[in-house]
Every structure is written in structure tokens, then in C-alpha cells.
Structure 1
Amino acid sequence: MKDLLQQYAAFNIWASQQIIQVILALPEEKQNQEVPSSFNSLARTLLHMWDAESIWWQRMKLQERILRPSDQYTGQIADAASGLLAQSVLWEDWVSKASALQLEHVFQYQTFDKAQFKQPTWQMLLHVFNHGTYHRGQLVNMLRQLGVSRIPATDFALWSRGKK
């Protein structure tokens, strides 16, 4: 289990870096242009991805008051991208040091609508990494809608072949 989670954590960083490079090369107006999607711009989608990784980190750390990075965010898209990647590195580092007991540990958390849940840490980690994959797929579609044609592949299989 730990090896798989370590691979997903590393893949999550690599795949995000691939997409972020393309986004940051665009003019600011394209980065913020409204596009039909869950979060309707590249910038808002990256910010949501950062929020999600940060929220789960805080839940895992049993913080009582969960803060979304977007609540204090006033920067440029590069700042959101840096924040997301820094949070992803925290996940990778944590997973690399986690014991089997820590990965199996069931923790309790509360959602923003006050619902209470218990979940093993390893399941939450799979959710975090899968969530990133989902939204990177949205970013790819948004980039295409914005006329970008050179978009790198970010498949797990591609990453797996490249790490050998």
C-alpha cells in the first residue's frame, strides 16, 4: 500500500507541474478567461485544487478550524500554482515517512456543512490524488477551449514508464 501511495504522491506533483507549465506560459487574460467548467477558469480551478489538498491536510492534522487558501488569496495564478505544488510536496513527504499504522489510522473529520465522517488515512490519500487527476483533466479541456494545442500527456502509465 505504501509504495502505491508514494507513487501516486510523486505522480500528483509531476502531473500538476506539466499542466502548470502550460498555464503559466499563457497571457494573464487567458489564465483568467471564463470557460464552461466546474470552476470556470484555469486560475479558479488551480485555486480549488490547492484548497482541496490543503483542506485534507488540515483535516488529517486534526486542525479544529479549517482554512481555505482561497479565503486569503489575493495573488497571481503563479502564487496559486506554487501553493498547490508546495502542498503536494508536503503530501509526498508525509507519505514517504508514514508507517503502516499511520496509513491505516482512522481519523474523524467534519465537512464544511458540519457532517461528521471517519475514514482510514490511506483512503483519504487516494481521494486527494484522484481529485487532482480529475481536475487536471478539466484543465486540459479548458486549455483546448482556449485554443491551446500543445498540451503534455499526464497519464500515470506515462509517468511510470519515465521513472525507470
Structure 2
Amino acid sequence: MSLSTSMTNSVEYNIWVAEQLVAWLKTYPQELLQKECLSSFSSIAKTLKHISDTQLYWSSMIRETPVPSFEYIATTVDIEKEMANLVNEAKLLAAYVKENIEAMNEPYLIESQWFSSNFPKYEYLQHLLIHTTYHRGQIVTIGHHVGVLKAPMLDYNFWNVMRQQK
């Protein structure tokens, strides 16, 4: 599989998995999504916001758009807004990657308050995807503790098999 195919599949999966996550979470009352337990982000809502904010940050780097401002650790979360942001940003990112597939091989210099790096954009994309996968797992685990159960299959291989059966 070529790098361009891998990137295209990855951004398509990212849209699908964001939609699956949001559809599942919408079946539960917001009170459960706000319920706190021990975790790096103390609720499903706060973890969702972190995923959304971080995806927006990395997407803005990849798309070379202004860096958004957001709370690093949110005290309140508008769940509906974050759900919409997560899906919408995944779609914007996918459109950019597909339209600029060759540019994804070009290094992009990032100088932030946390780090400085000059990697090809596809490496930032890979980081974004791994990061969101990690925190989706946290959402599922937090869900087990607060009564948000029966998570859908969010696995890349599941998506890949299902799309090929269509």
C-alpha cells in the first residue's frame, strides 16, 4: 500500500470513527457524559473535548491555518458543540489531505511553546490519529465506570473490512 493510499484510508477512517463515537455517545444522557471518575481527563465530556481540541490543533498545523485557542484542561464542556467539532474537523482534514496528498510529504516547521519540529505533514497526521485512538480508548474505559456501555466497534480493521464488503 502506498503512503498516499494509507493517508487517504486513515482520514476516511477518522471521519467514520468520529461519527460512530458521537452516535454512540448521543444515546446517553449528558449527565453520564459529564460524570467524573479517575482518569487523565476526568469525564467522557472532558476527554471528548481534549480529542476535539487536539485534532483541531494538529489539523490547523497540517492545513497551515491559524492555530486555535482553547483551554488545555476544560472546566466546562458543551458536549453537543464538541461532538460537532470532532466530526466537522475530521471532514475538513480529510478534504485537505485528499486534495494535497503530495504536500503531505513536505516538511512543515512548527515552533510552539511546547516544542519545535520540522517533520513531513504525514507524520503529524499519524500523530493526530494515534492520539485520538488513545483517547477514544479512554472514553470507552471511563464509560465502563460511569454506566456508558456497549461501545460500538471502533477498530480500524473492522472499518476496513466493512467498507470492502459494501
CA–CA distance in structure 2, aligned partners of residues 85 and 11 of structure 1: 11
TM-score (norm 2): 0.87
C-alpha RMSD over aligned residues: 2.1
* 1:46-66, Cα deviation, whole Å (9 max, x unpaired): 111111111112223445x62
Q: Note the 1:5-154 alignment, pairs <5 A.
A: 5-63=7-65, 66-70=67-71, 76-100=78-102, 102-113=103-114, 115-154=115-154
Evaluate the alpha carbon distance shift between residue 152 and residue 50 of structure 1 in structure 2; reply closer, same or farther with a 3 A threshold: same
Evaluate the alpha carbon distance shift between residue 56 and residue 149 of structure 1 in structure 2; reply closer, same or farther with a 3 A threshold: closer
Tell me how many residue pairs correspond in the alignment: 161
CA–CA distance in structure 1, aligned partners of residues 61 and 75 of structure 2: 20
Evaluate the alpha carbon distance shift between residue 94 and residue 122 of structure 1 in structure 2; reply closer, same or farther with a 3 A threshold: same
Contact 1:2 1:95 in 2 (8 A): no
* 1:103-136, Cα deviation, whole Å (9 max, x unpaired): 11101112333x3211111111111111111111
Gap regions ≥5 residues in structure 2: none
What is the letter of the counterpart of residue 43 of structure 1?
A
* Deviation for aligned residue 1:95: 1.2
CA–CA distance in structure 1, aligned partners of residues 105 and 33 of structure 2: 39
CA–CA distance in structure 1, aligned partners of residues 101 and 159 of structure 2: 25
SS in 1 for 2:109: strand
TM-score (norm 1): 0.88
CA–CA distance in structure 2, aligned partners of residues 70 and 79 of structure 1: 15
